[in-house]
Amino acid sequence: MLGIILCGHGGFASGMARAMTQILGKQSQFIAIDFPETSTTALLTEQLERAVNTLSDNEGLVFLTDLLGGTPFRVASTLAMQQPNCEVITGTNLQLLVEMALDRDELSCEAFRSQALECGHRGLTSLADELGRCRDEKQIEEGI
């Protein structure tokens, strides 16, 4: 099973972890680390290093972060480059977190990355687009 470390600004990680737990129940091999305004890059680095050491016995490790270029992303990226079988995914949302937590048992790090990116793109939509898609599908079903 791949280990997952979720990290983001403010209470992003703990909030997402609570939401995921409400939907899926408690997840093993999962650690959420917040980066509150009062934290420092050095402290976040220590926390992420401890998390990596805790989850190092897994088949691989994935960091899920909130913002491209933010401190959680940068620190996770630095650590990931020092680890074999490690990926960093950024722009994490709840749909991505839930779907990927369910699918990670059967995936390599590379396959996780590819599937997570597809999931993230699929999960970003609008009501108008979804209604239009449903109408288009219904018209095809009712065709000659």
HSE (side-chain half, CA atoms, 13 Å) at 17: 20
119 is written with which tokens? 């999931």
**For the structural domain made of 2-141, what CATH number should be given?**
3.40.50.510
Domains of the chain, by residue range, sit at 2-141
Q: Other C-beta atoms within 10 Å of 76: how many?
A: 30
E-assigned strand segments in the chain: 2-9, 30-35, 60-65, 86-90
Among 104, 135, 143, 73, CA closest to 4: 104
Residue 133, pLDDT score: 78
* Of 70, 74, 75, the residue nearest 46 (C-alpha): 75
pLDDT of residue 143: 57
Record the pTM: 0.88
Contact 6, 34 (CB under 8 A): no
Per-residue pLDDT of the chain (144 residues; tens, 9 = 90+): 999 999 999 999 999 999 999 999 999 999 999 999 999 999 999 999 999 999 987 789 999 999 999 999 999 999 999 998 999 999 999 999 999 999 999 899 999 999 999 998 888 889 998 888 777 666 655 555
Q: What is the pLDDT of residue 139?
A: 60
Q: What is the pLDDT of residue 140?
A: 58
Tokens at residue 109, please? Answer: 């790090």
Q: Minimal CA–CA distance to 4: which of 81, 76, 68?
A: 76
